[in-house]
A = this chain, B = another copy of it.
Amino acid sequence: MIPLRSVPEVQAGDDLGRLLADAAGRAGGLEGGDVLVVAQKAVSKAEGRTVRLAGVVPSERARAAAGDGDPRQVEVVLREAVRIVRMRPPLLIVETRHGFVCASAGVDASNAPERGTVVLLPLDPDGSAASLRRRLEELTGARVGVIVTDSFGRPWRQGTTDVAIGVAGLTPLLDLRGERDRVGYELHGTTIAVADEIAGAAELVMGKTAGVPAALVRGLRLGGTGSAAELVMPPERDLFR
């Protein structure tokens, strides 16, 4: 686990791949097979996925859902949501257009570029991860995996853990079905969300306030291909819709 400490504050339009490649270079360089984990906020800022609240006119629905929160911010959340899963004003847990279920559709005012601004999730986090991966290979020659992460809450458990919302160049789900344990019991249905475990592991060295938006994870030997879309439970298998 190698934190990338020297990434500058990201601005809209920045070449994030170059910023990360440079930071990785100062940390000893990328190696083939590394997984580069980058916080969603950095990706969203580079892609200009921010909204100034001053220009947002909240709907009646947003005012009702806001409680003592900012109705303009709730308006932005509702525009990002395709379904409301739970509501306890000002807390909204929604399904995003990507299929993620999370608080406030991932819309967040912390670590925004300036006060009065909120940061949205990337429009296509898997696409963002794939673009970053291509750019990193172009700049460094190293074929790495890329994971874009965000902090999600979980039902029944306190605290957030970082999970993968964008994946490129590695398999996000490790399928052990068919392998057998020591006494020959077949591990039916044992599928491990390794991309989420890598995301959480990286959070341990990135932190929330430390200004470390990325980390390298080395030695996993995962490879493969895939996307974070595979981590979304298909509706027909979902017991919690």
Contacts and interface: CB of A to CB of B under 8 A. Distances in A.
Contacts of A163: 157
A164 B232 CA distance: 23
Contacts of A162: 197
A28 interface: no
- Interface size class on chain A is 35 or more
A61 interface: no
A185 B109 contact: yes
**Copies of the protein in its oligomer:** 2
Interface in A160-180: 160-163, 172-174, 176, 179-180
B209 A187 contact: yes
A239 B155 contact: yes
A238 interface: yes
A161 B115 contact: no
Nearest to A163: B157
A38 to B, nearest CB: 17
Contact of A155 (B111, B155, B209): B155
Interface in A182-206: 182-185, 187, 190-194, 196-198, 200-201, 203-204
B112 A156 contact: no
Given A158-B237, A159-B196, A192-B208, 15 more contacts: A86-B240, A91-B239, A110-B185, A111-B185, A112-B185, A114-B183, A115-B185, A157-B193, A158-B193, A176-B209, A192-B203, A196-B200, A197-B201, A197-B203, A197-B204
Pairs of residues from A and B, 4 with the lowest C-beta to C-beta distance, nearest first: A159-B193, A201-B201, A197-B200, A155-B240
